[in-house]
Chain A
Amino acid sequence: MWEYTDKVTDHFKNPRNVGAVENPDGDGLAGSLACGDALRLTFRLNEEKKIAEAKFQTFGCASAIASSSALTEMLIGKTVEEAEEITNADIIAYLGELPKQKVHCSVMGREALEAAIYNYRTGKKLDKHIDGEVICHCFGATDKEIEKITREQKLATAEDVTHACKAGGGCGQCIPEIEEIINRVIGEEQAEEEPKPKLTQLQKIKLIEETIDRQVRPILRRDNGDLELHDVDGDKVIVKFIGACVSCPVSAVTLKDVVETQLREAVSQNIIVEAV
């Protein structure tokens, strides 16, 4: 069983502002039945353009109910502009603490708020039509969503992603793809921060080895293949395929698409990979 703070328990057992506001100015839905979590948030403004009434309906666990209840309390009395500033971290802070695995409940609160504000401003429903390619089929998360959350919350592992948005928390089949997204985001951010320093030959070889270990091998091993670093000559990297890769008819494609791309990203744009 989870350890919940008293405040979480209180908001779960005595949820404030349950239901739907009549004729709301803003009406937003986040989450879905499939995820086992969904939240509908509605609010109404008074003459001073402050939120006079905010209500929620939640399908979800104790943390989801508590997060929604907390959010409505936080909203009342604020202008839409002020409300817009509320982050999922603020919701957690309001409740004291949430178990790491339940952070996604507060994220859902923030998303419902976004949807409701969008509805208030445009009169339209924020129809989260599927943007990008679905990576996690268990929770219906797309590559774009995962990328966005990884960037925003500076996530570093697939586990972090699961805690933030559930993706990867089901059958786990999507975890390699989530990891690829994380690596890409981290890679891009590093690239932005510091232009690649000039490497000595020894540093270059080390980096090549590391990249092969970390980013190339796991991909090949998934299909029972593998490779070894054979030689490095200037920017030419010579590798030797082993295991299933040896007899694989598309190993030439793997060489360029996987090995070379990864090494170019990590080491230098000039890398050329060849197989012996």
Chain B
Amino acid sequence: MKQPVYIDNNATTQIAPEVTEAILPYLTEHWGNPSSMHNFGGQVKRALDTAREQVAALIGAEHPNEIIFTSCGSESDNMAIRGAVDAMGGHPHLITTRVEHAAVLGPCHYLEDKGFRLTTLEVDRKGNLDLDVVREKSMSGKKTVASIMWANNETGVIFPIAEIADIIKEGGGVFHTDAVQIAGKLPISVKDIPVDMLSISGHKLHAPKGIGALYVQRGTKVTPHIMGGHQERGRRAGTENVPYIVGLGKACELARERMEKDVVHERKLRDRLEEGILATCKGAQVNGDPSNRLPNTTNISFEYVEGEAILLMMDDQGICASTGSACASGSLEPSHVLRAMDVPRSSLHGSIRFSLSRYNTEEDIDTVLEKLPVIINRLRELSPFADD
């Protein structure tokens, strides 16, 4: 089968061949339990330590033991939020934003239903937060647990996490950031800013699905949500998923080595793609602050056409992307992120997210720029609104 043009890397990424190679020995030869006393397990333990160092290095954590391996980014988010609230005791005030991933909004709303006060911050039309509001809310007089993403998965918009972390810490709160989309794409360093917890996910940076990590800064109190053995220093029980942890470590190392090159490569392709689409497709517009976003992401709305229809027609041409449109997902609701940004109704239903990786090529962009305008044209011809 011919490989499709895959430009949906914020959904998931291809596993890097180097990562697969690193994993294999831990599926075949080295299958010992890292908790065992014997040397057969001990070897495996050393592989875990290496992976922990590799992950710590990618996000600039000072101590490798600040990294807790989890099963995915969602688990990391859940553990951070619920674990911090639990450890804090009393009734902390939760702060989040309207544009978070469901893995953050889910636990926040769950806690709200349990009677916790939740503030959900609005964003402006470009998808940016108002820092004055963040300050005002975080000084509410109550202890706070804030969870605010670093980069948005749909638009790529980046929040000023250093400043936000400062504000939250000034108010005496605990601060978690979901860094799933930025980790591996742009340099981040948790030792330079007062982030207490940070989530990452393996499959967004060329490791397999089913592995994630949570950075927990020394001294931060968080109740484990899987209790049992003493693995991960008692902060997450369960025998470690060694092969995938090794894979995540390798993926982090690769990302660090290649980041500078990848950023340039992805940004160049993305900009060409974006300019090409805006020039050839009628009614196209970019959603989200163009000067302040991930180098690999662009979210484009097409006026008067609907996202699922675009997506299916692209799929037919071997192009894989995503839509924040209502009709393609189980719910009918257009993307909560674009709605929070007040994207006009005429464009809201026809938004497509293109997200690139180091493996995309000039030819991929050529293909999209050749096929997409035809698709948009065709759908606009079908639409009763397009000519006015």
* A interface residue numbers (CB < 8 A to B): 1-2, 12-13, 15, 18, 29, 33-34, 36-40, 57-65, 101-102, 138-139, 162, 166, 169-171
Contact = CB atoms under 8 A, between A and B. Distances in A.
Contacts of A29: 384
B382 A15 contact: yes
A62 B328 CA distance: 9
Nearest to A171: B333
Interface string B320-354: 00000111101111100000000001101100000
A38 B306 CA distance: 10
Nearest to A36: B349
Contact of A101 (B306, B332, B349): B332
Contacts of A15: 382
Interface residues of B, number: 28
A221 to B, nearest CB: 11
A211 to B, nearest CB: 24
B306 A59 contact: yes
Contact of A61 (B306, B381, B385, B386): B306
B382 A18 contact: yes
Given A60-B306, A61-B328, A38 B385 contact: yes
Contacts of B384: 29, 38-40, 57-59
B331 A169 contact: yes
B304 interface: yes
A13 B348 contact: no
Interface of B: 304-309, 312-313, 316, 325-328, 330-334, 345-346, 348-349, 381-386
A158 to B, nearest CB: 13
A2 to B, nearest CB: 8
Nearest to A19: B381
Given A12-B309, A36-B327, A36-B348, A166 B332 contact: yes
B332 A62 contact: no
**Interchain residue pairs A-B with the least CB separation, the first 3:** A169-B332, A61-B327, A36-B349
Contact of A18 (B313, B330, B381, B385): B381
B341 to A, nearest CB: 15
A64 B332 contact: no
Contacts of B332: 101, 139, 162, 166, 169-170
B319 to A, nearest CB: 14
B333 A138 contact: yes
Contact of B383 (A13, A58, A62, A171): A58
A2 B316 CA distance: 14
Contact of A12 (B312, B331, B349): B312
Contacts of B309: 12, 60-62, 65
Contacts of A169: 326, 331-333
Contacts of A138: 333
B330 A101 contact: yes
Contacts of B313: 13
A13 B314 CA distance: 11
Contacts of A166: 332
Contacts of B330: 101
Nearest to B307: A61
